[in-house]
């Protein structure tokens, strides 16, 4: 800004700063104040009141109430017709920054759930037999749950929920702080799931594992692992569902 005040790169840096803020902390209050001050005093002014975008689904415009217009944020739940192709249209003329996300929620048998990811985050779950080094399981076997997580950008405040099969019990029953693959996190052991809380996840691929014992025979749902950035919930991924058979 001081060297070339009219450089187009200034607005691009401001856009990058806002996108990074979706998933990262600016630190203490003085550091956050410096970032906000730099944003407001450089480049084009982005605080002017702008017209609302026209958002429609299948030609039907979505309406905004008076509170939405003041806050600049709204969340709308819709029932989508699964029997036809649905079209989302967004028409926006304002120059100030804006972004949004679409979430699809549906119910399906666990074994039919396919893995889902976004450009910034993906996860894969594998359960292997440590006792026999085979792909079959029986009561008493020690197994290892492996979670392979890949994120293409630095993330902070990330939560992972791993739904376990009903027939396995983790060998470590005590919740606490862990360090694995140069990554620190808090592990919370629940009755049916293991929750992991990451303060920071540098971009790259990381492998997290924990051991468990098979306790009951039968056919069970393997459970899926879901990972999500808490302050940017559109950055979310989950593993595929499958069956877990115990002889």
Is pLDDT at 142 greater than 90 in this prediction?
yes
What pLDDT is stored for residue 149 in this prediction? Answer: 97
For the beta carbon of residue 210, count every other beta carbon within 10 angstroms: 20
Tens of pLDDT, residue by residue over 154-203, are 999 999 999 999 999 999 999 999 999 889 999 999 999 999 999 999 99
What pLDDT is stored for residue 46 in this prediction? Answer: 64
Rounded CA-CA distance 204/149 in Å is 8
Closest C-alpha to 213, from 119, 138, 109, 120: 138
Helices (H), the chain: 9-21, 29-40, 66-71
DSSP secondary structure, 168-229, as one string:
EEES----EEEEETTEEEEEEE-SSEEEEEEEEE-SEEEEEEEEEEE---EEEE---EEEEE
What pLDDT is stored for residue 208 in this prediction? Answer: 96
How would residue 101 be classed by pLDDT, with cut points 50, 70 and 90?
confident
Tens of pLDDT, residue by residue over 63-94, are 888 887 777 788 888 888 777 888 989 998 88
Q: Is residue 210 within 8 Å of 170, Cβ to Cβ?
A: yes
Is pLDDT at 45 greater than 70 in this prediction?
no
Average pLDDT value for the chain = 90
Is pLDDT at 217 greater than 90 in this prediction?
yes
Rounded CA-CA distance 144/127 in Å is 6
Phi, psi (5° rounding) for residue 112?
-95, -5
Q: What is the pTM of this model?
A: 0.86
């Amino acid at each position: 800004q001081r060297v070339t005040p009219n450089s187009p790169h200034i607005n691009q840096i401001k856009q990058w700063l806002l996108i990074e803020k979706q998933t990262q902390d600016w630190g203490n209050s003085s550091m956050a104040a410096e970032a906000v001050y730099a944003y407001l005093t450089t480049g084009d002014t982005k605080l002017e009141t702008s017209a609302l975008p026209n958002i429609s689904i299948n030609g039907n415009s979505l309406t905004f109430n008076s509170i939405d217009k003041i806050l600049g944020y709204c969340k709308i739940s819709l029932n989508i017709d699964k029997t036809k192709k649905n079209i989302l249209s967004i028409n926006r003329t304002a120059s100030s920054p804006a972004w949004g996300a679409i979430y699809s929620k549906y119910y399906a048998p666990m074994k039919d759930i396919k893995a889902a990811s976004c450009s910034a985050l993906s996860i894969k779950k594998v359960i292997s037999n440590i006792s026999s080094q085979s792909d079959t399981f029986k009561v008493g076997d020690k197994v290892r749950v492996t979670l392979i997580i890949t994120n293409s950008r630095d993330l902070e405040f990330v939560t992972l929920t791993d739904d376990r099969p009903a027939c396995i019990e983790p060998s470590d029953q005590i919740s606490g702080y862990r360090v694995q693959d140069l990554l620190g996190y808090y592990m919370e052991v629940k009755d049916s799931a293991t929750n992991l809380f990451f303060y920071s996840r540098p971009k790259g691929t990381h492998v997290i594992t924990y051991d468990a014992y098979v306790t009951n025979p039968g056919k069970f749902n393997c459970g899926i692992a879901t990972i999500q950035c808490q302050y940017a919930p559109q950055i979310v991924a989950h593993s595929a569902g499958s069956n877990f058979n115990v002889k």
